[in-house]
Amino acid sequence: MHTLPWFDVVGFWIGIFLTFAILSYLYKDNPFYKLAEHLFVGVSIGYVITQQYYNVIKPNLLERLAPAHWTDALRPSVYWIPLVLVALLFARMVSRRIAWLGRYPLAFVVALYAGIQINAVAESDLAEQITVSTRSPIVPKKDVNDPATTVRDLASLPGFTPAVAEKVVAARVAGRRYGSVDELADTPGLTSAQRQDLRDAIADFHGLAAQAAVEPGHHDGFAIASRIFLLIGLCASLVYFYFSAPQTGALGKVARFGVYVLMVGFGASFGSTVQGRLALAVGRAMDVLDKDKSPELAAQIHGPAVSIASIVVILVGIVVWEKVYLPRHPRP
């Protein structure tokens, strides 16, 4: 059994206590909450400063400027440039008249990041996304019997993976001709999980049966509707941001539709945010209840017992603070 060092166990206990100290804010602002809050801020700042010093300033600047001999101290080095730029940031603390010098290092950083980002964003966010958004709305089903349908084409189908696609292509090359999409699950060499994935994928109304066929000339109705809606929604959303004409009449109605499309997007973001915040609470709950630890670790930490003890200490503390301390030390 892996035995935790005593300071690790105490660390877990402090974590549990501080969790409940933070949650005590739900009652009202109190000394336990303040303690946890100040600890959090202090530890965070201390950690950031040490990390930045040991990972950035020391290896990238100080060690490179450190002379091997005192006579080398003033030897020319390109690393004096960042030191000077950093020093310029503090110019305004010397005199307001030379405060403008601090703009040069900031301009350098802004220009550097702009240079890195402009091309990259134009390529990955604009070019790639516009390519996808403006694809032809006519989407034929992928003909699994067509020799021109490649492994890559098949791999994008629901229930498929590149490995499954390779087996389907191998079966086709060996002379197999599929009579229906359901027969894909009978392809030789598939594992039982892969067969099940294919059967599950057929059931969806926009699944395998909607996207694949065994003969040419069929179209994927869901994909066609989806691409048309995407294009209309994209254009309507852009119209909302067109300010060179009053948004009245037909233009106003299109812009209004664009707002609804944007609202759907914001709703999706809100839903994801809720899930993220809930995940934080779940994470803390699992930690204090030892649900994210192995039974061996949980037996050493006793999270639920420490949780109850923490709640009792905080409750008693808040009662004493309210009934004894506050009456004697009224707030201004």
Partner 1 sequence: MAARNALLGFLERFDRRWIFLAMGLAIVLPLLYPLGLPADPSPMVKAVFYAIDDLPAGSTVLVSVDVDPASRPELEPFFHAAVRHLKKKGCKLVFLTLWYQAPPLVEHWIKDDVESASFPGDRPYRSGEDYVWLGFREGKAVVIAGIGQDLAATFNGQDAAGTPFAELPVLRGFARLADFPLIVLVSAGAPGAKEYVQLVQSRYNLKIVAASTAVSLTDLTPYYQSGQLLGLAGGMVDTAEYEILVARFLGLDPKEGVGAKALDVLNIGHLVVIFAIVLGNVIYFAGRRR
> Among residues 120, 245, 305, 316, which is the contact residue for partner 1, using CB under 8 A?
120
- The 10 Å Cβ neighbour count of residue 76 is 6
Measuring CA to CA, how many Å separate 1 from each of 226, 302, 306?
55, 16, 22
> Among residues 275, 296, 299, 325, which is the contact residue for partner 1, using CB under 8 A?
275
> Among residues 162, 188, 189, 221, which is the contact residue for partner 1, using CB under 8 A?
162
Q: Which is nearer to partner 1, 182 or 200 (CB)?
A: 200
What value does the CA radius of gyration of the chain take, rounded to a whole number of Å? 32
Asked if 12 and 293 touch (Cβ cutoff 8 Å), the reply is: no
| Piece of the chain touching partner 1 by CB under 8 A; list 72-80, 109-117, 237-245, 322-330 | 109-117
Q: Does 129 bind partner 1 (CB under 8 A)?
A: yes
Please report, to the nearest 10 degrees, the dihedral formed by the alpha carbons of residues 241, 243, 249, 253 taken in order. Answer: 10
Beta strands in 99-195 (DSSP E): 142-143
Q: Does 124 bind partner 1 (CB under 8 A)?
A: yes
Q: Does 131 bind partner 1 (CB under 8 A)?
A: yes
Q: Does 320 bind partner 1 (CB under 8 A)?
A: no
Residue with tokens 């191998």: 170
- Please list every residue from 163 through 182 that binds partner 1, using CB under 8 A: 163
Q: Which is nearer to partner 1, 105 or 252 (CB)?
A: 105
> Among residues 1, 5, 26, 205, which is the contact residue for partner 1, using CB under 8 A?
26
> Among residues 117, 134, 150, 180, which is the contact residue for partner 1, using CB under 8 A?
117
Rounded CA separation 260/254 (Å): 10
Q: Which is nearer to partner 1, 91 or 158 (CB)?
A: 158
Q: Does 56 bind partner 1 (CB under 8 A)?
A: yes
CB of 171 to partner 1, least distance (A): 18
Asked if 128 and 198 touch (Cβ cutoff 8 Å), the reply is: no
Q: Which is nearer to partner 1, 71 or 192 (CB)?
A: 192
Among the listed residues 275, 261, 198, 196, the one whose alpha carbon sits nearest the alpha carbon of residue 231: 261
- With vertex at residue 270, the alpha carbon angle to CA 264 and CA 273, rounded to the nearest 5 degrees, is 145
Rounded CA separation 269/273 (Å): 6
What residues make contact with partner 1 under the rule CB under 8 A?
26-27, 47-48, 51-52, 55-56, 59-60, 112-113, 116-117, 120-121, 123-125, 127-129, 131-132, 158, 161-163, 193, 197, 265, 268-269, 272-276, 278-286, 289, 291-292
